[in-house]
Structure 1
Amino acid sequence: MVHVTSLTSENLWPYECLSYTWGDPSDSRMVTLCPRVVQADIFSTAALYPFAPVTANLEAALRHLRSETEDRVLWIDSLSINQDDLEERASQVGMMREIYAKAKEVSVWLGKNEETSLTLHLFAKCLEAEFVRSTGVPQEDILQPSGFGFDASQVKSMESMESDAFSVIPHENALVALADFFDLPWFRRSWVLQEVNCATRVKVLWGRFELTWSSIILAAFWQGQRATEYLKSSLKKRVQHRSGYLPELWLSLAQRGREDPLAITDILFRAREFNATDPRDKIFALLGLGRETRDQPSSHSQLTPNYSKSKTQVYADFTKAHIIRSNSLELLSAVDIFTEDTEGNQDIREVKPGWVPDFDRSIPTIRLLGYPKLYNAAGATTVQYDDTFSESSRWLPLKGFELDRIGKFAPGDFIRAKDFGLTLGSFELPQLYRNMVVPLDHYPTGDDVLQAFILTLTCVGYADPNDDSPEAVLGRILPSSTKASLEADFAAFWKRYEPSMSTLPEARREHLESLSEDGNESYFGYLAGKACVDRRFFVSERGYIGLCPRESLPGDHVVVLYGGSVPYVLRFNHVTAEYYFVGECYVHGMMDGAALEEQTKRSLRPTTFCLS
């Protein structure tokens, strides 16, 4: 029997919170609710209905958590919030951070899986013990309110951590158990991010075993260091069809701790792979985590949960409000430009207008140009929102200038290679270079044409594995121009398709031939694949080369919006005088402030682009 009690701030008993996934809503159980009066305030639903339906997963959690000897006071969302009352739901959602922060403990219920949970429990426990022994970091200090209690070098030490302390678990079995574990739905539920991050104490329950949150974080690092082992045929078969890794956002939140929250844009970009039953919760569930949003007063209506709004309204209102308040256009890079129209559906962007990101759609953050920030196309300018336009939620009026227009595209698409999810495949790269780049003769900025081509193909940057600074425990993305081996890697990759290298400039051929011997062709293919696949290679009307969204058309406007780190492609509607937002793009030579010099040189007048 479950006693339902209403507590007030004046009469607040010590309580725990439960973090779980609802599971299959059609698989329900009935629990008996017995209202218990604290004041005159009783949870209305419980007073009317002595029985309440709960999902099978929640019932299993309640049975596991109940004590035979004493009462346990638990806050559970599906029982503590009337989900049918939109006002109550919005009010409680706005208090969620406070509710979980004040709990004496948060119990994470992952469900039952006795066989795998035993393996995982033994491995994680032994790994944590070995980490404590070898690094000298006390278990209670591994995760602190201020973030990680360890540094990058101590994480790196786990690469060779094969002590007898956890040799009881065969290496391959540990990797399979971790893939099973991190594939559990709980790790990709939007709400649980806040539930764990705000908690002062967390315990994780999987079957009859209990894990510390710090042991899970360490296990994720250990697994990440061995990610390539999953490519082995023996492991491939055992872990296929699983998303068997801990999403990076969990590590970023743990790295910063409760006292140093991430920016809301960092959270929104990295939470795209997380799920929410109600798509509006892809915003509402994350507000309590963001540095700029977690303590906002209720007067900021766009940052307050409101379930009377549609999904489109919620996403549009938040995006516009954040751009204005943060003076940043980062969120424009969250617009999905990768999803392929495979069913003849012309409206692949379910969320309209075009400048509004569909936060409910997963996109690969590692493939974006404007996040994390690599470039500075608009220099030191700041966002200029033109408030002389109507306050229509459809429009986003921003000032900037037209830099160029799309001229022509490469005759074909970059393809995915079968062995790697995002690798430049058998596209005729020499033909592309010969037909579209060689005719340029010289580049508008004076840059070397071949170098411009190489940097365009790899424009989304790379992760630096050798950065040992404290903030780089999770890696840091750098522009490909800073990678010392880039030219050698390109030469090795090129030689795969054209051993003679006859298409390349004669003056560079011998040098590139020698570099190719030390280059990593697969790595260049990976870098180029991240940037090129699902984008189009173009030459602009003024002779610049770049990559743009697949949806782009010849004649589309390439613009720089003040405050933006990258250029954008827009399409003018002559009927409505609006500019349809196509997406972010790369224009070689115009990514780090040179566009402003071009504006002055060519006397390009500032324009208000009314984005739709």
Structure 2
Amino acid sequence: MDQPNSTWSIAITRSARTEVGECCPRQPFVELRIPDNSKLVRRVVVTTISHDQGWSDQPHNAGTYNGCFTFFEILVKTSSEHERTGEVGRRSFQVNVHALRQPRRHENVWDLASGDDVQQRFVEGIKAGDTISIVPVAVFQGWVNFVYEIEIRAEGDSESKTSSTALGMPSTSATAAKSSIYEPLDISRQQTRLLAIHPGGFEEPLACSLTTVSLDESGHENYEALSYCWGESRSEARIQLQRGDEDGGMIFDMPVGESLHDALKHLRPQIGPPRKIWADAICIDQSGVEERSQQVALMRTIYSQADSVLVWLGTSTESTHKAFAMFKALQDRIRNQLASSTTFTAEQMETLESDAVSAEVSDRVAFIPLWSQCNFDWFRRTWVIQEIWNAKAASVHCGFDTVSWGTFSILLRQFSLEKFITSYVQSGRVPHFTTGDAIVPSIFFRVLWPFENDQRPHDRDQVGQEEILDVLIKSHGLKASDPRDKIFALLQFGVETHNIADLPDQIRPDYSKPTEKVFTDFVRWWICEHKSLRILSTVHTLKHRGWQQMYYGHPKDLVTLGYPTWCFWHAGNEHSIGATLGLSLHSPYQASGDTVPDLALISSDEAALHPEVLRLAGHRICTISEISPFPFLDREASGRLDELEDAFMQLFDPAGHRWSLSQDERLLKGSMFNRTVQQFLSRHLMSHLQGFDDEANHFQCLSQCLFTADVSGTTRNGLCPHNARPGDIVCMLYGGSVLYLLREKRNSDTSNSTDGGIQGKQFEFVGECLLQGHMNGQVLEEVAKNATARETFDLV
């Protein structure tokens, strides 16, 4: 008998006088996390108290809600820090009263019982463990959003204990039944399984069969490979699955995910022979750890030998129909153009594609909301990068709408950052706006194909032109149901890792290893492979680890991260790659000279027994005594801090332009870009000078980052990330281009760490730092002069 649902209700309020201008970081003012036991969100209420700057050049709009460019955004993030899209994607709400410098209270409600379809879909899309964020926004010169208080309230139904169990992992009996479908594969013959979808009507139950094929045999049967999202839905559908394609084979009632079931229904032939496809959720025994590891290593072969890859974007909606009508018109236009000539040069094809997109997608800014409404989550899945790259041919399916992957490639290329954003910067539009983010993660621009019959080669030999570390960081925006896949699925794309068969066991796909060991092993391998500590700088691309704080609340305690503080991890922000000191191969710093890490410490037998500990050698320099805001407006201080100012501009981006242009365009634009940055920098300063504290000498929206320390009796300044604290230790570590901050772990042994074994003090890794007069080998000179012994630091 069903038990009645229990309910939950939570709220959070933040009161803090804050002004936000057009160049301030888009950071949440307040956030609310949905309970983990939530079954359904029923209502979200946001109350704001705010006003704009109190003046404008539009007196006819004063006192109304028209023409005001200060407002709020509501967004929902998953527990892995991925922003939800589609019906529950980021949206603007609550404009301030135009040119009224008096606080006004507004209440906005999203209610499941409202009868409004848009509200209902938004609330339904918020899941257990999600975080609701409210971001104050101002756009265009002179507009400032003055915020006093924001409250978020939410309520909904809780999972009962019985339903929670039922909706979790399959029962033991269900798992056993599913496993009995599979017979062992012979990996020496590159065996995998194929799914045959038997013909039938759209609404009829799905009948399928499972056979084994050896991919190393040249005459194996033809098949297509499915590329799709597993999806987050807990609901399951069922298919009738026969083992073997001979009559009389055992038939199983097999549960499959809703997304896969939808794909199979739409791809099923109505009449004729069965359609043979490869779909990972069915063709791999997901309960077999060894088989999963073997099949993942075979994935490149599976997709490259398929006749075609079928990209499944989901069932169709009014928005997807509209979008696919544009895609089909684009496809037809280009095919007609290609039919008129036998050959095109690369330049001619570029012009043809650009003209075709301009004709069929004339208003590119208006296209972005339509694309967002389509909610094509396929473009956020990690595995699809490899799947589409290895395909000989590919088509894109949404419901019964379909176009070639080449058509999609053309559209995405034309929306790429380099081609589209410059006009927005030059016209003074919102500096944080980028179409690359609005369409797909930047990593996708590596796998765009030429249109069919285009003479430009789709050259798979181009794979491996980037280091694997850069590939992994650029893939932060992608999702994976298994965090280990954030490494396993991307190894093919690294210059050092693209040949999976030749990889050492340390980083080869192995699902028997826990997630933490997959990542710690990768970091150790990378340090030894490159003889560098550059990978340590990747912590500033991770969730809650950036130089600038981009989340609500106090800086996170490193102990609560849930993984070793020195380790690269799977949740992060791809755009933070430019906001680091030592991540670039072309870093201007050489703090440890040309030294390399002590590889014996890193790869010792004892280190293997403690995978959570990274042993590094180096020297401590000083201890932070004070942290304060960077005094950008204090002319006397700025002269003293010249050495730090360029780094401050790079790390904290006070002009709000880091994401607005690619590196190549910055170099090409030269003085124009510099003038634009100076223009926005001045506008940023003005937004704070008319703010609550008009005598401040710094950007109030940026994290405190200027530290003071005593270095051999001399007061020195430096830069530190937002989660640094007084008491943190500035160190030089062998093999690092920059300096680093370490924090002695509470309750650690007070004895000195030695080279003899993992013992003594342990240190949390805070991140990079910059110290005046110590970034280009000066520490090594002091060490040699004073004959200072090195110290071994055990990072945890």
TM-score range, shorter chain: 0.7 to 0.9
Where do 1:71-470 residues align within 5 Å?
71-126=274-329, 158=354, 165-166=359-360, 173-181=366-374, 183-223=375-415, 224=417, 244-254=438-448, 258-260=460-462, 261=464, 262-297=466-501, 300-335=504-539, 336=542, 337-338=545-546, 342=553, 346=557, 349-362=560-573, 364-366=575-577, 367-373=579-585, 374-377=587-590, 378-387=592-601, 390-391=606-607, 392-410=610-628, 429-430=632-633, 437=637, 448-449=639-640, 451-460=642-651
Q: Relative to 1, partners in 2 of residues 1:2 and 1:163: Cα closer, same or farther, differing over 3 Å?
A: closer
In the TM superposition, what are the counterparts of 1:13-52 in structure 2 within 5 Å?
13-36=221-244, 50-52=252-254
The question of whether the paired residues in 2 share the 8 Å contact of 1:264 and 1:291 is answered with yes
Q: Which runs of 5+ in 2 are unaligned?
A: 1-206, 450-457, 751-759
Q: CA shift at 1:463, angstroms?
A: 5.6
Change (3 A) 1:497 1:3: closer
Aligned residue in 2 for 1:60: 262
Mapped partners of 1:155, 1:401: distance in 2 = 57
Tell me if the contact between 1:282 and 1:360 (Cα under 8 Å) persists in the aligned partners: no
- Tell me, yes or no, if the aligned pair for 2:333 and 2:356 is still in contact at 8 Å: no
1:294-351, Cα deviation, whole Å (9 max, x unpaired)? 3144772221222222221221122112221232323212223147584997456433
Match of 2:706 in 1: 537
Number of equivalences: 531
Question: TM-score w.r.t. structure 1 length?
Answer: 0.73
From 210, 215, 221, the equivalent of 1:4 is: 210
Change (3 A) 1:407 1:247: same
Per-residue CA shift, 1:478-497, capped at 9, x if unaligned? 999x9577667656654665
* Paired residue secondary structure (2:719): strand
Q: Distance in 2 between matches of 1:264 and 1:606?
A: 31
Q: Which is strand-richer, 1 or 2?
A: 2
Q: Which has the higher contact order (CA 8 A, sep 6+)?
A: 1
Where 1:84 maps in the other structure, the secondary structure is: coil
Computing the radius of gyration from Cα coordinates, the structure with the larger value is: 2
Shift of residue 409 of structure 1? 0.4
* 1:550 Cα offset (Å): 2.6
The question of whether the paired residues in 2 share the 8 Å contact of 1:561 and 1:567 is answered with: yes
Distance 1:315 1:467, change over 3 A: closer
Q: What percentage of residue pairs aligned between the two structures are identical?
A: 26
Superposed CA deviations along residues 76-98 of structure 1, whole A, max 9, x for unmatched, are: 00110111111111211121122
Change (3 A) 1:496 1:275: closer
- Once superposed, what is the RMSD of the aligned Cα atoms? 4.7
Deviates more, 1:352-361 or 1:76-85: 352-361
Instruction: Classify the secondary structure of the residue corresponding to 1:585.
Output: strand
Structure 1 Cα separation of the partners of residues 336 and 597 of structure 2: 51
Q: Please give the alpha-carbon distance, in whole angstroms, between the structure 1 residues aligned to 2:482 and 2:669.
A: 36
Q: Aligned partners of 1:200, 1:59: CA distance in 2, in Å?
A: 25
Question: Which deviations, in whole Å up to 9, do the C-alpha atoms of 1:361-409 show, x marking residues without a partner?
Answer: 5564243333344333344333332436822212212233334432310
Provide closer, same or farther for how the CA distance between residues 578 and 343 of structure 1 changes in structure 2, counting only shifts above 3 A. Answer: closer
For 2:383, what is the secondary structure of its paired residue?
A: helix
Cα 1:604/1:497, change in 2 over 3 Å: farther
Q: CA 1:405–1:198 in structure 2 vs 1: closer, same or farther (change >3 Å)?
A: farther
Bigger shift: residues 300-309 or 596-605: 596-605
- For residues 163 and 58 of structure 1, do their structure 2 counterparts lie closer, same or farther at Cα, with a shift above 3 Å needed? closer
Structure 1 range deviating more: 122-131 or 365-374: 122-131
After superposition, the C-alpha distances for 1:82-135 in whole angstroms (9 at most, x for unaligned) are: 111111112111211221122221110001224222332243455577789999
Q: Secondary structure at the match of 1:205?
A: strand
Matched position secondary structure for 2:410? helix
Report the Cα distance in structure 2 between the residues aligned to 1:150 and 1:329, rounded to whole angstroms: 42
Q: TM-score, normalised by structure 2?
A: 0.57
Report the Cα distance in structure 2 between the residues aligned to 1:129 and 1:139, rounded to whole angstroms.
Answer: 17
Letter in 2 for 1:376: Y
